[in-house]
Structure 1
């Protein structure tokens, strides 16, 4: 008998390209994992590109009675984005937006990242109301479907309160746009029973005063438990009820196709302060008073929370001296003018001056200090994650109390922590809204641990929902882990409303079953995610998905989260002596190891600081071990190696001139096919070699002779810039080494070149392949040469590409050079920082009347240079454009030659973002610039070319 899934898959292949349908078990495991501590294995994962595909797919699922779940970014914490049936994910085609009414409204597709929406609104001084902590990663579809809020959002600015309209797809494929009268008229004919049912529920609530009062009471707090029942009281028009019930419905009522928000003001002036009180009671009394002032956010942190981050860099020293009784408030004030800001700050402090403080960081507008204070608050969740035992997960629960109950609630929560043995648990939260998060670690690998968690949750839900009539879920959504307790919060008649709403929208129950409505009282203890030990480098991963937005392989293969999921599964099977099928291993080799750029951007987004590239490089060690002799030989004969590369470049360049680019590309493609892609890819932007006449030593000898000057710099050209000439498409034919020397000459620097230059390398080509011993040897060799050239660290060192500079800075921090007492350390700069800190005062810049594209490399981002790079570019050109959604170009050293599909995928949206008339792009990595040029249609070159052009002649 043919299964329903086989029939569905056959029908899907008639609708969708095969690459949008994933049924491989290993890939379904990787793609089906979300940030919660639950796991299901989907049978089919779909990547849908447009509304019609969604309509077609849900219609098919409905016809075949097969469950389906919608997924946006997968950062949700309560188990609402997983499936054991069909998981529907969105491609990057869902990133459309439209700003209306001078920024007062914005329409967003569900694939737009929340932070991007705010970026689009920034020129208008506006933003969307919801501000979840995951806003840099989560997407609008999830924000709306979970009614996510955040630190400043409260209840007044969440998706429910700022909704202007939306379009949706129901379980049977019916489409509705609540902003379009024609669409509403058509819907009324298609779904009269749904609209009539909503009106009936509205009347039912009105005729039940006790239930009406309970709904009013619950929504004075943040509340995402169950459905948005307040929609049945707040509106009389069934279309308004329908639209607002979709908010917070977690994909159980329909698919949110797009949403229009009323935006909110984003004041230009902000100030923050930290106030520490002796106990939680005093702290909460201060919160009560602050609720009557103009503060934008008040974050509460208990004593354990403060202790968890006391040793973090940048924390105030007094934090370490606090006992567990202490508590703190982190406050932010926002205003349209500085005068208003200062007045609001003063008023807030006057309001709470009678409450004795242990210590404080007074209100400040200093951006660095404010960032450190908020980093303290944001660092609490990862602080718990970083100290958990391997094999356990981090659980973050999310409840709300009326503000007058906060102190007592914190006390009783801490008592429950002690009672159930969660001594590491911490409490923090959005105090103005009475919204508390508590974080603890939990293992699920034994029945006793699952029972402990179950008993604890039973006690917590009684405390919150019964004793204090609070919200069991304030902003994280009901999901699976609070579904068994929805009736406890709402009562029998309230829960019947929830069930009736589900039945009205989704009569067959195909949409995200088990979420919000779940008859199993133990559902929160089912489908628990295993987190077996795999490798210390990644064991702290909580699978939150914050890394995914910046991963260059996210649309080609796997993301860091997904790589770790598959690696954990491989290690679990190995530890349990289970058979590891070849398919799983092969998928992981290519999608997990080969296509990882290993550039480390994931570490910047990871709340526990994991660089998945470190794991990948370690895994590559075994693969490349057989090449150790070759690697050692090339390292020992580096001059000859680069000369051989130069010969190859010149040969390819000569052949392409004779036969033409198209014939050359076909010839190269054939050779790659025969060699199973072991030969590097050739493309027209690949330049000839940097000729001997243009070598840095020759160039330096040709510079005008100068007397010795106090302005000296050691210039170390990377092996890429020493080897590669300028691309043929460039208007300036000079090599990067020539241009760098020109900039230094204009700034009046005397240039020192390290001896034995052409044998030197920063070691990155070897490190990226896991050949760490060879890389270390090259690092030591380079460090010694620069130590001598800089006169024991007396002179700054300029490297003309940022990856080499980043690699050297990191490596030299582990210095093996014997430095004399009192001597200086090596100071290594890439072009941006060197120009800004050393050369700019000697380089009058006149912006060129030109639009240029700017690519900020991974290494520049990791060194915190993105803003500086943009600022320097704007000093040199009248318009600078940073393309969206391209964090890493995916060239990744030599992968642009060996795995060109990674580079192509990472830059798939680049060409369409280049405005008409723009002919130049800039960056600060020679190899990255090759891939950028190839996929953009314009020439990318070092930012030093732009600086040199904008600088006046000496």
Structure 2
């Protein structure tokens, strides 16, 4: 269970603010301890501020009350959604307001023409809901799988395809917002607008006057229109003053791109855009950047939805990635590439698009193949590589440096010369690793470089470089210093330089009108300190080679089951880095002790080590490996010896486990669940605080190998390796299905006509997963290697495939496998590819739940498992808000709050009439059953219930299967 909160005392006025907030927000959602305030003080930028208070808000009313409380004490407030901001706009040294679970509302309008979203909805989730209707939201930032609508709108984020026509500003229909004084306005509600006109007439009158004055000034109005013809997020959305006359329309459009400095967006309605089902992509190569930009200028008028420019340095950073053409390695120093995508409503229209683009390219000098592909996997691979350019540089940077991504826009006709001048600036200032890529159709370039901030000399180098960049973009090309990433802190000192004093004066008037006390996200967008971009720089000290490549982008967070319970993978790394920094510095021992004590629970004990973070991380960092290593260090030599003893006596260990399960079941039936749980807690000294209601019974299973046909060659043969979990844990006492899993697997295999072999001493075999999760890697690897040797022998050196009935075990053995001849099949893979084609299936009409385990996802078998379930059931529900279940082997027993937090959205997803759930991990199924209220069991049970042997199958026909 969690230790008592370690909260540092707060100085005035924050102590009074906290006391008043505690009357509005539960203590559990008010964070003041040194570890979590540190880790929340990090976003994806290279700045860090440590907040005094972090408030996780769940409702609009909480935001209203919080703003009134903080305003009463003149305390600044910063809002944060996902924290993927790149310019320092989501950090604070005061009160940081973070969106909790209560902001995930999504309502699709008539004909899906509009969608109303609360700010906590992840952009990709909004698109997932709209996809069946052929629509999507306009903004498409590279971070869309993590970024939330609140941040997307507040930064006017765009992306690869939306350009300037489909961003939040251009697709805004209405919004609900909270101003600095706590007033709520719903611009879609006439009554709300009327009340607001009565209560805030002065504000609306001043906005109307600002708009009128701006439109009357032809030179200023023309300047504003020109600035927004290309992408521009530098400063406020002054185009609202010339695009609209109604002051409410001006107000809501000023909120777009305001980065939380003018108010809080509590809901937004966007007009949707088509999501064409037919797509084609091509990776085109050109002899130099000039020819690539020439091609882009021609493609601007063609049916092209995206054109992503990549210079030679970019290509070099990704040339070894899977899916990239091998000839890239031999390209010259000046070669550039453009990744092009075209979309259409039909295959015929797509073909016409491709033909039109080909005609345009005929006037360009290209290198190699210019053909488009419609293969979804190939296209996805291209775009995944493009999206990974930023972190790819971060992953190869020198330890201790940070990676910086700047974001500018130039007039498209001058893009080539501007790009060459940028490259020259890199060389002049010594940034030889820098790369350039970007959304070329919009003249939008990103450039990425690595930077140390550990010496004044390095800070000065960065200062000189940024000064030169500003002169290049503004003076030479009249471009945008921030095209789509938001002004933030790192460009705030340059806003007046880009816009000039008259337009900058308008921005100051707007800020003073909305936030006269300057309490909303101070220092962001408008900042009078010319050196603001050089302060509060984030340290990135070495912590561990397993995670040193992390750039703290936060892409991992939506996958993590402990995110918002304790720490996310990003936050675990931040905490570990801070401890490493304090150790290296050799000072502030009390702070180190306090953070380390909190990290034991928040960082180590509550990590599921499921590995899903690696699937979302652009450079594949698996934070769980760090946590397992720390667990191993914490356990010491005695625990390692105990682990080795368990590994050497696995059969006896499993026998003890079965005995414990029998005793627990007997106690439950005799004295009840509550008394049994209390007794278990006492007997284990609190180490087993929870016994789920769906506690397994002891499994009893004796393998039945097909000895009679052991030498027959006319039957397809598999080696079945039941996991130690399925051999020891049977169904829960209340589950209508009481056969142990191995018995059901045998049943399916025999129905499908397979001959079954088992490894020798099967009850003593284990993949080592339980040991690895405790950090006992040596014992775990030894056990896995012994099992692989037994499986190799049983499979006649790989002649027959091996089937595992538990996905985590299949994944671990695959990762440990060195024998190329031995094939390990996960049960989902076996059922999908080999068993189902040999069975007759009668679908069940009962809706079923399906849980895709972390291991299933990591092996890329989530599609196969889903296909198996859909082959057997008319309705299959895969809850979109459930990732890792958080049971994590035994964490569901020892740290039950992790399982409860991970599955907090599961009960609402169970459809009416559903009586069963299915998965591929017995321990996961314990927690799933408890939280869903319906029994979960292996997918094999569903197949067995629906399957019969094919009628008239003969030995000859059965033998046709090929592995």
TM-score for both structures, normalised by structure 2: 0.96
User: Among residues 221, 227, 231, which one is paired with 2:236 in the alignment?
Assistant: 227
1:798 partner SS: strand
Does residue 656 of structure 1 match 2:668? yes
Whole-Å separation in 2 of the counterparts to 1:649 and 1:715 = 25
Q: How far has the Cα of 1:901 moved from its partner?
A: 1.1
Does residue 689 of structure 1 match 2:701? no
Does residue 835 of structure 1 match 2:847? no
Counterparts of residues 398-437 of structure 1 (less than 5 Å): 398-437=407-446
Give the equivalent residue in structure 2 for 1:608: 619
User: Among residues 831, 837, 853, which one is paired with 2:849 in the alignment?
Assistant: 853
Give the equivalent residue in structure 2 for 1:719: 724
Q: How far has the Cα of 1:696 moved from its partner?
A: 3.6
Does residue 629 of structure 1 match 2:641? yes
Give the equivalent residue in structure 2 for 1:155: 164
Does residue 730 of structure 1 match 2:735? yes
Counterparts of residues 520-599 of structure 1 (less than 5 Å): 520-581=529-590, 582-599=593-610
2:445 partner SS: strand
User: Among residues 80, 104, 109, which one is paired with 1:100 in the alignment?
Assistant: 109
Contact preservation (8 Å) 1:550, 1:886: no
Counterparts of residues 4-43 of structure 1 (less than 5 Å): 4-43=13-52
Q: How far has the Cα of 1:704 moved from its partner?
A: 10
Give the equivalent residue in structure 2 for 1:493: 502
Whole-Å separation in 2 of the counterparts to 1:127 and 1:259 = 15
Give the equivalent residue in structure 2 for 1:741: 746
Q: How far has the Cα of 1:408 moved from its partner?
A: 0.4
User: Among residues 926, 932, 935, which one is paired with 1:936 in the alignment?
Assistant: 932
1:853 partner SS: strand
Q: How far has the Cα of 1:304 moved from its partner?
A: 1.0
Counterparts of residues 866-905 of structure 1 (less than 5 Å): 866-905=862-901
Does residue 127 of structure 1 match 2:136? yes
Give the equivalent residue in structure 1 for 2:779: 774
More deviation, 792-801/308-317: 308-317
Deviation sequence 1:650-706 (CA, Å, 0-9, x none):
01101111112233234334545xx1x223632221121112xxx142x44799999
Q: How far has the Cα of 1:855 moved from its partner?
A: 0.6
Give the equivalent residue in structure 1 for 2:86: 77
Whole-Å separation in 2 of the counterparts to 1:389 and 1:705 = 58
Deviation sequence 1:284-326 (CA, Å, 0-9, x none):
1111111111111111111111111111222101111112211
Gaps of 5+ in 2: 1-9, 951-963
User: Among residues 79, 95, 102, which one is paired with 1:86 in the alignment?
Assistant: 95
Whole-Å separation in 1 of the counterparts to 2:45 and 2:526 = 18
User: Among residues 726, 750, 758, which one is paired with 1:753 in the alignment?
Assistant: 758
Counterparts of residues 336-485 of structure 1 (less than 5 Å): 336-485=345-494
2:394 partner SS: helix
Deviation sequence 1:582-619 (CA, Å, 0-9, x none):
32111100000111111111111112221101111111
Whole-Å separation in 1 of the counterparts to 2:385 and 2:894 = 42
Contact preservation (8 Å) 2:692, 2:926: no
Contact preservation (8 Å) 2:118, 2:266: yes
* Shift in CA distance, 348/444, structure 1 to aligned 2, threshold 3 Å: same
Whole-Å separation in 2 of the counterparts to 1:418 and 1:132 = 29
More deviation, 361-370/900-909: 361-370
2:589 partner SS: coil
* Shift in CA distance, 706/873, structure 1 to aligned 2, threshold 3 Å: farther
2:372 partner SS: strand
Whole-Å separation in 1 of the counterparts to 2:324 and 2:734 = 50
Whole-Å separation in 2 of the counterparts to 1:29 and 1:58 = 23
Does residue 267 of structure 1 match 2:262? no
More deviation, 460-469/203-212: 203-212
Give the equivalent residue in structure 2 for 1:790: 795
More deviation, 428-437/629-638: 629-638
More deviation, 152-161/730-739: 730-739
Q: How far has the Cα of 1:734 moved from its partner?
A: 1.1
TM-score for both structures, normalised by structure 1: 0.97
Whole-Å separation in 2 of the counterparts to 1:849 and 1:730 = 20
Q: How large is the RMSD of aligned CA atoms in angstroms?
A: 1.5
Whole-Å separation in 1 of the counterparts to 2:696 and 2:393 = 50
Whole-Å separation in 1 of the counterparts to 2:289 and 2:799 = 53
Whole-Å separation in 2 of the counterparts to 1:701 and 1:339 = 55
User: Among residues 617, 628, 631, which one is paired with 1:620 in the alignment?
Assistant: 631
Does residue 807 of structure 1 match 2:808? no
Deviation sequence 1:839-862 (CA, Å, 0-9, x none):
222122222111111110000111
Whole-Å separation in 1 of the counterparts to 2:586 and 2:196 = 56
Whole-Å separation in 2 of the counterparts to 1:647 and 1:75 = 49
Q: How far has the Cα of 1:119 moved from its partner?
A: 0.7
User: Among residues 49, 69, 76, which one is paired with 1:60 in the alignment?
Assistant: 69
2:816 partner SS: helix
Gaps of 5+ in 1: 816-823
Deviation sequence 1:333-392 (CA, Å, 0-9, x none):
100000000001110110121111112351110112212222331232122112100000
Q: How far has the Cα of 1:922 moved from its partner?
A: 0.6
Contact preservation (8 Å) 2:343, 2:350: yes
Does residue 912 of structure 1 match 2:924? no
1:373 partner SS: helix
More deviation, 646-655/682-691: 682-691
Give the equivalent residue in structure 1 for 2:656: 644
* Shift in CA distance, 745/135, structure 1 to aligned 2, threshold 3 Å: same
Whole-Å separation in 1 of the counterparts to 2:293 and 2:709 = 71
Count of aligned pairs between the two proteins: 938
Q: How far has the Cα of 1:708 moved from its partner?
A: 5.2
Give the equivalent residue in structure 1 for 2:255: 246
Deviation sequence 1:763-816 (CA, Å, 0-9, x none):
111111111111121012101100100000110000000000000000013x5x
Contact preservation (8 Å) 1:288, 1:404: yes
Contact preservation (8 Å) 1:709, 1:749: no
